[in-house]
Amino acid sequence: MAGSTPASLSASAPAAAPAARKAQRFSPWHEAWRRFRRHKMALFSAVALFLIVFGVLAGPFLWPVAINEIDFAAKLQGPSWAHPLGTDDLGQDLLARLIYGGRISIAVGVAAMVVAIFFGLLVGAIAGMSSGRVDAALMWVTDLFLSLPQLPLLLLVIYLFREPVKGVLGVEGGAFVLIVAVIGGTRWMSAARLVRAQFLSLREKEFVEAARALGASKLRQVVQHILPNALGPVIVVATIDIAAAIIAESTLSFLGLGFPSDVPTWGSVLRDAKDYLDIAPHWALFPGSLIFITVLAINFIGDGLRDALDPRRVL
Amino acid sequence: MAEPLLDIRGLKTWFKTDDGMVRAVDGVDLHIDRGETLGVVGESGCGKTVTARSVLKLIDMPPGRFEAGQILWQGRDLIPLSMEEMDKIRAKEIAIIFQEPMTSLNPVYTVGDQIAEVIALHQKLSRKQAIAGAAEMLRLVNIPNPQRRVHDYPHQFSGGMRQRVMIAMALSCQPKLLIADEPTTALDVTIQAQILELMQEMKERFGMAIMLITHAMGVVAETCQRVTVMYAGNVVEEASVEALFGDPRHPYTQGLIRSIPRVDRSAEKKQRLEAIAGTVPNLLEPPPGCRFAARCKFAMDVCTQAVPPLKEVGPGHYVRCVL
């Protein structure tokens, strides 16, 4: 046999180790961040998104102008010092309205993503861990949801439930909850399929088997060992879901089925602007650009994350 | 003799498939005494791994199921136990290490976290104590610099080091039996020797028994006291290492031993390396008689009629053959 090899190994290692150690002391998340930084567009997008989010959060303090202050003397004005982004047909300040609208649009996007990912994880994990009938039934439901035409369904659900929900949660809160539920409830399927596929492959991995062999319960295997390994692709889908939810909210608002018309969101400002495209193009241009930039930035970040969290490179 | 640590009696683990019942383990008897190393040998697909996994009840059910037999752990049958009761036996009493060290560790946690998890599952300890315990285990398996390595991730370890970590993990609760399912197959030869030596060292330190599953006869000769030879879901021969290599009785065992490459012999006599002709029979519908009959040079009519019983040919030496 190999005699004293282990002893000699431990004797020689400390001498060689310290130099190499500092450079490689990274967790997989450090590694991912290092790779993400190399993705220039994603990094640039992250900065842009941060500025937008910071802007809508801090905006009301930096630009304390009321969103509903009507001033017919200043209606449909282009950008000026008094109104940096111009005014609408009631003379309301567009910058203030877009700051407020951005809060709603982004909050809806994030909340709808959370709902979608939560249901996606739940359905996907249950389907992936159970085999046979439960799996088949859940995937059948997923396919069913995927085959439903989304927009007519959104319109129908909002039309049916707007009044009852409004009664319980108030006008704005009711609209928020309903819109988030409807967008999240129709967007969980891709996450569910992804999570199921991840679980199907991960649950056969040796480290899960090893955890099982060393006494980890089923729940522990899922939460501790399978879920963290499935998270990479889910995070990517989650970012793209935020972008899709922002677009969906804009669509609903544009069609007049989102928030009440006196509450500005990016989509509803765009809707109000459409009749004045020829005389006040700035009115449509700014909310449109904000939606465009935000969604584009989120998609680029998703791209960067996909490269950074590629499981083949993490493993 | 005293009660054996593990006593498997007439174990049948079958798998239901679309084509019918696969009799992967079909009536296996074997036992392991305290502190001994039992080698389980046989070629791929002969039921070694299924036997090992049956002991820890790691067989997916369905499609698998225990058709018959008992697995007596210190006199207590494991087969009727619930999964919760099994979780208490796993790692604490019986631990297992697998063939693939490269993928047996979770890539998203540090090795310390993973060893600590096993320790914390079975003992009431704070996280700090568990991590300290993990570092101590790493030191025992000869990982240099354990205090720092405990915070490293699996991808920062080589294959041999990961198998050491796996051993540390498996031994962290000081089990009485370690099942090693081809622990060195994926490693190169020098590392193999180190790992086997480490297992030997751990065995002496903790006084545990080892069930070493392998298809390398050389590994068996060096590390085991007793050997069970399996073929197509059956035990065909059981003997002490000396008896098995000195006086192999079953034609299959003889074939296995002759198929070990020997540098000295082939050079002198210009011999070709001998192989056992044919392949393992389909376990879906095993032939009625001796399962090895189709490949056996000495097969007679009687061999294809009924499975021969295990008969004692020497002290502790059993053979399932009519010869």
- The Cα-based distances of A103 to A71, A118, A266, B230 in angstroms read 24, 22, 9, 69
In degrees, to the nearest 5, what angle opens at C-alpha B115 toward C-alphas B112 and B118? Answer: 145
Using the structure block, give the residue that is written with the tokens 């001033």. A71
In sequence order, the 6+-apart residues with CB closer than 8 A to the CB of B215 are B41, B42, B43, B44, B48, B182, B185
Instruction: Give the residue-averaged pLDDT of A278-284.
Output: 80
Contact check, Cβ <8 Å, B58/A28: no
Cβ–Cβ < 8 Å for A213, B96: yes
Q: Which residue of B has its CA nearest to A28?
A: B108
Total CB pairs under 8 A between chain A and B: 105
Asked if residue A22 has pLDDT above 70, the reply is no
Q: Which residues contact B256 (CB under 8 A, 6 or more apart)?
A: B41, B43, B217, B229, B248, B276
Residue B17's SS3 state is: strand
**DSSP code per residue over A163-218:** HHHHHHH-HHHHHHHHHHHHHHHTS-HHHHHHHHHHHHHHTTSHHHHHHHHTT--H
Stretch A72-80: mean pLDDT = 70
pLDDT of A79 strictly over 80: no
- A14: confidence class by pLDDT, cuts 50, 70, 90: very low
Residue pLDDT, tens place only, B239-268: 888 888 888 888 888 888 887 776 666 555
Q: How far apart are CA B93 and CA B88, in angstroms?
A: 8
- Of the partner residues B87, B109, B193, the one whose CB lies closest to the CB of residue A1: B193
Q: d(Cα B157, Cα B103) in Å, to the nearest integer? A: 12
Segment of A205-209, A232-236, B214-218, B225-229 carrying the highest mean pLDDT: B225-229
pLDDT score recorded for residue B270? 61
pLDDT band (50, 70, 90) for residue A312:
low
Q: Which of A135, A214, A227 should we substitute to test contact with B (largest number of B Cβ atoms within 10 Å)?
A: A214
pTM reported for the whole predicted model: 0.74
| Dihedral sign of CA atoms A259, A260, A266, A270 in order | positive
Q: Is B227 helix (H, G, I), strand (E, B) or coil?
A: strand
Q: Which of A1, A206, A218 sits opposite B98 (nearest CB)?
A: A206
Q: Residue B72 phi/psi, 5° resolution?
A: -90, 115
Say if residues A264 and A98 touch (Cβ distance below 8 Å): yes
Nearest-angstrom CA–CA distance, A65 and A59: 10
pLDDT digit string, tens, across residues B112-148: 888 888 888 888 788 888 888 888 888 888 888 888 8
Q: Is the confidence at residue A165, as pLDDT, over 60? A: yes
A17 interfacial to chain B (CB closer than 8 Å):
yes
C-beta atoms of A229 and B166 within 8 A: no
Helix locations, chain B, DSSP H:
48-55, 83-89, 111-122, 127-140, 146-149, 159-171, 189-206, 217-223, 241-246, 251-258, 263-269
Residue A211 Cα, gap to closest chain B Cα (Å): 8
| Distance in angstroms (rounded) separating the CA atoms of residues B251 and B236 | 9
- DSSP label at residue B90: B
**What are the C-alpha distances in Å from B2 to residues B6, B32, B39?**
12, 11, 20
ipTM higher than the 0.85 cut: no
Interchain pair A216, B155: CB under 8 A: no
Distance CA B272, CA B274 (A): 6
Which CATH number is A100-276 given? Answer: 1.10.3720.10
pLDDT bracket for residue A284 (50, 70, 90)? confident
Inter-chain touch A216–B87, beta carbons under 8 Å: yes
Better pLDDT: A298 or B307: A298
Q: Is the peptide bond before B287 cis (omega within 30 degrees of 0)?
A: no
pLDDT of residue A246 exceeding 70, the answer is yes
pLDDT of residue A26: 61
Q: Is there a contact between A150 and A184 (Cβ–Cβ < 8 Å)? A: no
pLDDT digits (tens, 9 = 90+) for B194-236: 888 888 888 888 888 899 888 888 888 888 888 988 888 888 8
Task: Judge: B95–A214 Cβ closer than 8 Å, yes or no.
Answer: yes
Strand ordering across the sheet containing B6-17: B20-32, B6-17, B64-73, B76-77
What is the predicted pLDDT for the residue at B271?
A: 64
Question: Which carries the bigger pLDDT value, residue A93 or residue B134?
Answer: B134
> What is the mean predicted confidence (pLDDT) over B65-73?
83
Question: What element of type H or E holds B311?
Answer: strand B311-314
CA dihedral A130, A217, B156, A34 (to 10 degrees): 60
H/E stretch holding A157 reads helix A150-169
Q: Which position has the higher pLDDT, A117 or A63?
A: A117
How distant is the Cα of A42 from the closest Cα of chain B, in angstroms? 24
* Residues of chain B with C-beta less than 8 angstroms from the C-beta of A27: 110, 153
Residue A100 has pLDDT above 60, yes or no: yes
* B34 bridge partner residues: none
- Percent pLDDT > 90 in chain A is 7
CB-based contact, B98 to chain A, within 8 Å: yes
Q: A3: which 2 tokens?
A: 């005699």
CB of A260 within 8 A of CB of A162? no
Which chain A residues touch B108 with a CB distance below 8 Å? 28, 228-229, 314
Using alpha carbons, list the distances in angstroms from residue A47 to A19, A55, A266, A293, B187.
34, 12, 21, 12, 47
The chain A residue lying nearest B221, using CA atoms, is A1
| pLDDT reading at B306 higher than 80 | no
Does B139 touch chain A if contact means CB atoms closer than 8 Å? no
Considering only alpha carbons, which residue of chain A is nearest residue B91?
A214
Cβ-defined contact of A214 to B169 (cutoff 8 Å): yes
- E strands, A14-59, where? none
Q: What is the pLDDT of residue B266?
A: 55
Averaged over A58-84, what is the pLDDT?
72
What sign does the dihedral B203-B204-B205-B206 (CA atoms) show? positive
Q: Is residue A1 predicted with pLDDT exceeding 70?
A: no
Query: What is the reported pLDDT for B267?
Result: 56
Question: Which residues, numbered 218 to 237 in chain A, qualify as contacts with chain B under a Cβ-Cβ cut-off of 8 Å?
Answer: 218, 220, 224-225, 228-229
